[in-house]
């Protein structure tokens, strides 16, 4: 019996060549609407679905393939006598190959100001139904959803007289991944449209960007996936201009650097090691900003990741070239900067569109057996109800120093303390089990530069010991959330030393 292939695609790329190859392999072709027309226009014989079903397309094409003569042909078990008999009784012919791709729902909802009506009209019903039916029955049916597979399908049929079962199984698995992702887009869109928060089930989908050589350590396998409609201002959407392939740790560090640099409008540079900032600087120029970030911790920056929010020019590139860096992220690199930096073959140079509006995304954290979901921490000092808790008001320079420290400390692993002046970090204490421990690390790193500097804390002071340590190091201004039952102890200690202390009412834990 002559084999049949059903073809119905929204994305027509490569379909004429694929259909012609199937016809040359003696497949009878069945098709719908626009696909049928383009095949006929290219001289390919094709039978309309309506000729198979004996029923016209209706309701603006919403109903065309949802028919027993189509789905019976897809789902019949060819080696089961009862199925064969019923096919014969109902005049149903088997369909051996299905080539379908779906209405462009993802592309539709990516359009600015897409209408609800347009989005819903691009929810495919018949396509996923045919794909799932064919994939379920892959023992007998070859199902193709990706145009990248067209050539391999033809080659397998030519070589084996039909696609081998192991290959059909792989194609079927791809179909179920594809329809699951498609439904995830719809689910997310409809959930947002309905204004649902924390729905009873969460369905998300990601696309593989690359397979990684290994994960955090060489014995761990890893891959990098991107969110299809995710933020363009992200490592996932970054363009790599030069250097080795990104590693698992590179991606994590680069993401951390980008999140910090987003806090700054003025020229700024951020150095990151192990997902913590080791130096942050601002300046009139990007070179001046980088100089400050480098001077903040010239030891830890070695082998680090640098993010800059201005184009890298020749002068800045010359400074960057002097030290060993894993990655440099910037909105652009001048031609001369590229010449300088690419003389090191391994350094990774990335660009992201810094002028793109920031897209706020929920944060997903995997735990064993589950997933934590929370809003992104976009809270800024401008959103806070700031109050001066001490007798002395901050000077303008102290305000500037506290603001810089506050921007940085929210990105430091808790417990976190940042010592800063108005244009750079001076010391960073990260990830300690108690706050005074974090303060001691930050103050020790800042050394003599603590004199007249500001201290920022991600959470309140449970005791006055942190203020005591700050005062002895010469800190003159402290910014912290407040909220401890012993706030008064810290306030009194600050007044005792003439320190100005600002409370924001907002903590920035980062685990």
Q: How far is CA 153 from CA 86, 137, 146, 503, in A?
A: 30, 17, 11, 66
Q: What is the DSSP letter of 215?
A: S
Measured from the Cβ of residue 363, the count of other Cβ atoms closer than 10 Å reads 10
Which DSSP helix (H) or strand (E) runs through 503? strand 500-503
Active site positions, annotated: 136, 274
Q: Which pairs count as long-range contacts for 245-251, CB under 8 Å and 24+ apart, including other chains? A: 245/210, 245/212, 245/213, 246/210, 246/212, 246/327, 246/348, 247/212, 247/213, 247/214, 248/212, 248/214, 248/215, 248/216, 248/220, 248/222, 248/224, 249/216, 250/305, 250/326, 250/327, 250/348, 251/224
- For the chain, the first-to-last Cα distance in angstroms comes to 64
In this structure, the strands spanning 304-308 and 425-429 are unpaired
Q: What is the dihedral of CA 374, 380, 383, 384, to 10 degrees?
A: 100
Q: How far is CA 329 from CA 218, 306, 349, 412, in A?
A: 25, 6, 6, 19
C-alpha radius of gyration, the chain, whole number:
30
List the structure tokens of 444.
């020790």
List the structure tokens of 382.
């401008």
Measured distance CA(98)–CA(302) in Å, rounded: 55
Q: Which residues of 9-88 form beta strands (DSSP E)? A: 27-31, 47-48
Q: How far is CA 371 from CA 249, 374, 375, in A?
A: 21, 10, 13
């Amino acid at each position: 019996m002559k084999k049949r292939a059903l073809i119905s695609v929204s994305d027509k790329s490569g379909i004429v060549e694929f259909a012609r190859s199937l016809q040359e392999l003696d497949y009878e072709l069945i098709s719908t609407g626009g696909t049928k027309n383009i095949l006929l226009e290219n001289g390919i014989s094709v039978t309309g679905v309506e000729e198979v079903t004996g029923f016209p397309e209706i309701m603006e094409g919403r109903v065309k393939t949802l028919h027993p003569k189509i789905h019976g042909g897809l789902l019949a078990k060819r080696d089961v006598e009862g199925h064969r008999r019923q096919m014969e009784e109902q005049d149903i012919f088997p369909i051996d190959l299905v080539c379908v791709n779906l209405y462009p729902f993802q592309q539709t909802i990516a359009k600015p100001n897409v209408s609800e009506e347009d989005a819903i009209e691009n929810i495919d019903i018949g396509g996923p139904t045919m794909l799932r039916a064919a994939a379920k029955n892959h023992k007998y049916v070859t199902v193709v959803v990706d145009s990248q597979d067209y050539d391999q399908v033809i080659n397998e049929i030519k070589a084996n007289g039909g696609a081998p079962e192991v290959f059909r199984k792989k194609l079927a698995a791809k179909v179920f991944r594809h329809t699951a992702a498609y439904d995830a887009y719809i689910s997310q869109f409809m959930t947002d449209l309905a204004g649902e928060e924390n729905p009873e089930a969460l369905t998300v989908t990601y696309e593989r960007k690359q397979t990684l050589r290994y994960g955090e350590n060489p014995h761990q396998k890893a891959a990098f996936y991107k969110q299809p409609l995710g933020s363009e201002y992200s490592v996932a959407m970054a363009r790599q201009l030069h250097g080795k392939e990104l590693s698992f740790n590179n991606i994590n560090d680069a993401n951390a650097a980008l999140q910090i640099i987003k806090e700054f409008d003025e020229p700024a540079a951020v150095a990151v090691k192990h997902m913590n900032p080791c130096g942050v600087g601002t300046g009139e120029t990007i070179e001046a900003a980088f100089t400050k970030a480098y001077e903040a911790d010239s030891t830890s920056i070695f082998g680090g990741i640098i993010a800059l929010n201005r184009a890298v020019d020749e002068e800045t590139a010359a400074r960057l070239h002097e030290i060993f860096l894993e990655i440099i992220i910037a909105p652009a690199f001048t031609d001369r900067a590229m010449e300088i930096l690419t003389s090191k073959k391994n350094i990774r140079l990335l660009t992201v569109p810094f002028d793109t509006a920031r897209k706020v995304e929920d944060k997903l954290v995997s735990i064993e057996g589950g997933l934590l979901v929370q809003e992104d921490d976009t809270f800024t000092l401008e959103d806070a109800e700031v109050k001066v808790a001490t007798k002395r008001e901050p000077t303008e320079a102290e305000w500037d120093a506290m603001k810089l420290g506050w921007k940085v400390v929210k990105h430091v692993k808790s417990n976190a303390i940042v010592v800063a002046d108005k244009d750079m970090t001076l010391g960073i204490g990260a990830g300690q089990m108690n706050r005074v421990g974090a303060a001691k690390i930050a103050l020790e790193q800042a050394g003599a530069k603590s004199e007249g500097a500001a201290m920022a804390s991600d959470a309140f002071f449970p005791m006055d010991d942190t203020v005591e340590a700050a005062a002895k190091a010469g800190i003159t201004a402290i910014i912290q959330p407040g909220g401890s039952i012993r706030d008064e102890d810290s306030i009194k200690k600050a007044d005792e030393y003439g320190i100005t202390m600002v409370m924001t009412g907002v903590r920035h834990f980062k685990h």
